[in-house]
Amino acid sequence: KETVLTGIQTSGTPHLGNYVGAIRPAIDASRRTDVRSFYFLADYHSIINSHDPAKLRQSSMEVAATWLATGLDTNNATFYRQSDIPEIPELTWILTCMTAKGLMNRAHSYKAKVQVNEENNAKDPDKGITMGLFSYPILMAADILMFKAHKIPVGKDQIQHIEMARDIAARFNHHYGEHFVLPEALTDDSVAVLSGLDGRKMSKSYNNTIPLFLPEKKLRKLIMKIKTNSLEPGEPKDTNGCTLFEIFRAFATADEVADLKKRYEAGIAWGEMKQFLFEYLNETLSPFRATYDELMADPATIEAELIKGRDRAREVSVPFLDELRKAVGFTPLG
């Protein structure tokens, strides 16, 4: 069976971009019985950038409640917390020892930080960079290879990391025999990358997000804050590069999008557009929001789902790690 796998970091509150880019497409796949699917809270990843236990816990609740409220089929898909699978860090170490340092030197996420340091003329180009950030593509490779995932749905920024996972797997297979499936990135150009309040990519770590399940009043307030240009009511507006339009398009039908385009050409006022977007999103999200609020008030139900997923994930990871340990030479002596 084809296997897909997706994780979301427990680094903050899930936002519209996470939903459109990762969760919604995954929910559809979670219901397909011809596909094996794995969804996880990437909490080992989240401690790379944040060391606040209360925040990690809160985010884990929010990310899990979001998956469950938006309709993840946890009887068909395997839904788990990464830190419940101790085989993943063990595999990470084995892979670390098969990974050339030069490969990690080329990782975008690491290079981007070094570049920021150089631009700021920091004495040490590695200032503020932990080994976790440097080697996190290896942790990601372990996430993927552990479950023999073929297709990894990702944004374009993640293609390089999937290629690294492939390289690492190929090197292991070449040396120790064929154990790993070589994964491929699956990018879907029809899936939008949403911009945030400030026009940059909406990201938990940029503090520019519109959380998916805000109470109505707060949702309205944030939508009113989205940056627009200074065109007056009556002046034709461009839909290209307009954050408001982009968000609407990610949720609406083709007919609704065509209608709105006409209103842009006719010079819709930004205030009117914001109110329209708010009403549309509020109506679309409110049924999910009710379930989300119930789950957030019931951590035991969330925990039970994660434990169910852990047990199913470990049915795969425990025997597979055992196979890998043998391949590497960790075998009983007598």
Q: Please enumerate, by residue number, every residue annotated as part of a binding site.
A: 9-11, 17-18, 143, 155-157, 194, 201-205
Residue 94 CA to residue 90 CA, distance in Å, equals 7
Instruction: Give the residue among 31, 33, 39 at the shortest CA–CA distance from 143.
Output: 39
Check residue 71 for interaction with ligand ATP (CB under 6 A).
Answer: no
Check residue 139 for interaction with ligand ATP (CB under 6 A).
Answer: no
Identify the three-state secondary structure at position 209: coil
Largest Cα–Cα separation, the chain: 84
Do the strands 2-9 and 35-42 form a parallel or antiparallel pair, or are they unpaired? parallel
Among the residue ranges 16-24, 216-224, 287-295, 310-318, the one whose residues contact ligand ATP (CB under 6 A): 16-24
Among the residue ranges 5-13, 107-115, 125-133, 299-307, the one whose residues contact ligand ATP (CB under 6 A): 5-13
Instruction: Give the residue among 103, 227, 122, 118 at the shortest CA–CA distance from 168.
Output: 103
- Residue ranges of the annotated binding site for L-tryptophan are 143
Tokens of 188: 């879907």
Residue with smaller CB distance to ligand ATP, 50 or 301: 50
Residue 71 CA to residue 111 CA, distance in Å, equals 37
Q: Kindly write down the DSSP assignment for every residue of 248-269, as one continuous string.
A: HHHHS-HHHHHHHHHHHHTT--
Among the residue ranges 9-17, 66-74, 121-129, 279-287, the one whose residues contact ligand ATP (CB under 6 A): 9-17
Among the residue ranges 3-11, 161-169, 296-304, 323-331, the one whose residues contact ligand ATP (CB under 6 A): 3-11
The residue from 193, 231, 296, 328 that contacts ligand ATP (CB under 6 A) is: 193
Output the smallest distance, CB 251 to ligand ATP, in A. 13
Residue with smaller CB distance to ligand ATP, 39 or 270: 39
How many residues of this chain interact with ligand ATP, rule: CB under 6 A? Answer: 17
Check residue 9 for interaction with ligand ATP (CB under 6 A).
Answer: yes
Rg of the chain on CA atoms, in Å: 22
Sign of the Cα pseudo-torsion (203, 206, 208, 211, in order): positive
According to the 3-state scheme, what is the secondary structure of 63-112? HHHHHHHCCCCCCCCEEEEHHHCCHHHHHHHHHHCCCCHHHHHCCHHHHH
Residue with smaller CB distance to ligand ATP, 203 or 275: 203
Output the smallest distance, CB 155 to ligand ATP, in A. 4
Residue with smaller CB distance to ligand ATP, 18 or 83: 18
Output the smallest distance, CB 17 to ligand ATP, in A. 3
Check residue 162 for interaction with ligand ATP (CB under 6 A).
Answer: no
The residue from 20, 95, 139, 226 that contacts ligand ATP (CB under 6 A) is: 20
Identify the three-state secondary structure at position 8: strand
E strands present in the chain = 2-9, 35-42, 78-81, 151-153, 184-186
Check residue 299 for interaction with ligand ATP (CB under 6 A).
Answer: no
Identify the three-state secondary structure at position 37: strand
Instruction: Give the residue among 87, 105, 94 at the shortest CA–CA distance from 328.
Output: 94
Check residue 159 for interaction with ligand ATP (CB under 6 A).
Answer: no
Give me the 195-224 binding string for ligand ATP, x by CB under 6 A, dash otherwise: ------xxxxx-------------------
Check residue 137 for interaction with ligand ATP (CB under 6 A).
Answer: no
Query: Where on the chain is the footprint of ligand ATP (CB under 6 A)?
Result: 8-9, 11, 17-18, 20-22, 154-155, 193-194, 201-205
